[in-house]
Amino acid sequence: MLNSEEFARYARQLMVTDLGDEAQEAFSTSTVGIVGLGGLGCPASIYLAGAGIGKLILMDKDQVELGNLYRQVLYRDEDIGQPKAEVAAERLRAMNHHIQCEAVVESIDSQELTAYLDEVDLVLDCTDNLETRLEINRTCVAFQKPLISAAAVGWEGQISTFRFDQSLSPCLACVIKAGNGGPPMDCSTAGVIGPVLGTMGSIQATQAMKILAEMEEDESTWMHRYDGRSSRWLSSRISPSPECRVCNPHAD
């Protein structure tokens, strides 16, 4: 049951159609894993903490650098040299004392991620490396955990939600194989606009809340692309690839 302070804190959220007390209580008992606490993970974690998600597991081995500050909105000058996951956990707990935050300051490979997947309800991929993103994808497929994967470079961003807890969901490897994944997302060589990352991270948080609230959605998986320069969106359906060795056990 929500107490009086929680009712006051989440009042405007509780008023929203399809949410209410039951959804808020579901949020408070949910655990979300966030891999990467950079330009995507910062806004996503801020909004999930604000929404009252019960526990956030924050995974990032990197330290705060000066070049992060213009787009990674949880960090300040005095945080330079400190582990991102630990700084983020401290800031988010200060933002909402009703939630728990666990910092994981290690390189996240499949073995490390596996150790936490029994605990989490879903995973947000907020990393900026394609190899890591595919590793997260493979692990979430194996454990049938929903995955919300986003990326951004320059003025453009993209996001897809994969429901591996449901049958016949495609995966990120299907997207890449079909050529729908676009060029490799690498902001370290091509640069990135901070608010584009903020847009994509905010949508990741929105998608997570919809899943945790068990809101009905179109069962199809979509790739949503955002062009910040033109302020336009382009969406396309993603189908499972019969040749995908990650999500199709019958692939040759």
Q: Is residue 36 part of a domain?
A: yes
Rg of the chain (C-alpha set): 18
Q: Is residue 206 part of a domain?
A: yes
59 DSSP β-pair partners? 35, 104
Residue 103 CA to residue 11 CA, distance in Å, equals: 29
Residue 147 CA to residue 150 CA, distance in Å, equals: 10
Domains contained in the chain, number? 1
Residue 35 CA to residue 61 CA, distance in Å, equals: 10
CA distances from 133 to 14, 56, 148, 170, 201 (A): 34, 19, 11, 15, 15
pLDDT, mean of residues 33-55? 98
Confidence category of residue 178, pLDDT binned at 50, 70, 90: low
Residue 49 CA to residue 47 CA, distance in Å, equals: 5
Confidence category of residue 26, pLDDT binned at 50, 70, 90: very high
pLDDT, mean of residues 201-212? 97
Residue 231 CA to residue 233 CA, distance in Å, equals: 7
Q: Is residue 244 part of a domain?
A: no
pLDDT, mean of residues 133-162? 95
Handedness of CA 130, 33, 37, 108 (dihedral sign): negative
- Residue-wise pLDDT for 240-249, tens only, equals 888 898 988 7
Contact present, 199 and 156 (Cβ < 8 Å): no
Q: Is residue 49 part of a domain?
A: yes
- Residue-wise pLDDT for 230-242, tens only, equals 999 999 998 888 8
- Of 81-85, 168-172, 196-200, where does mean pLDDT reach its minimum? 168-172
Of the residues 126, 187, 244, 247, which is catalytic? Answer: 187
Residue 5 CA to residue 149 CA, distance in Å, equals: 33
Q: What is the predicted pLDDT for the residue at 179?
A: 58
Q: Is residue 103 part of a domain?
A: yes
- In the chain, what percentage of residues exceed pLDDT 90? 73
pLDDT, mean of residues 66-86? 98
- Of 13-17, 191-195, 217-221, where does mean pLDDT reach its minimum? 217-221
Of 143, 145, 142, 144, which Cα lies nearest the Cα of 34? 145
Give catalytic status of residue 171 as yes or no: no
Q: Is residue 249 part of a domain?
A: no
Helices (H), the chain: 4-9, 11-14, 21-28, 41-51, 84-95, 110-117, 130-143, 172-177, 187-190, 194-212
Residue 184 CA to residue 9 CA, distance in Å, equals: 41
CATH number of the domain to which 32 belongs: 3.40.50.720
> Which residues span the domain enclosing 154?
4-238
Of 245, 246, 201, 238, which Cα lies nearest the Cα of 221? 238
pLDDT, mean of residues 12-20? 92
Q: What is the predicted pLDDT for the residue at 252?
A: 60
CA atoms in the 13 A half-sphere facing the CB of 78? 0
pLDDT, mean of residues 143-147? 95
Residue 32 CA to residue 23 CA, distance in Å, equals: 15
Q: What is the predicted pLDDT for the residue at 183?
A: 46
Q: Is residue 125 part of a domain?
A: yes
CA distances from 87 to 58, 78, 81, 247 (A): 10, 10, 10, 35
Q: Is residue 247 part of a domain?
A: no
pLDDT, mean of residues 75-90? 98
In the numeric block, which tokens belong to residue 32? 């979300």
Is the pLDDT at 184 greater than 80, yes or no? no
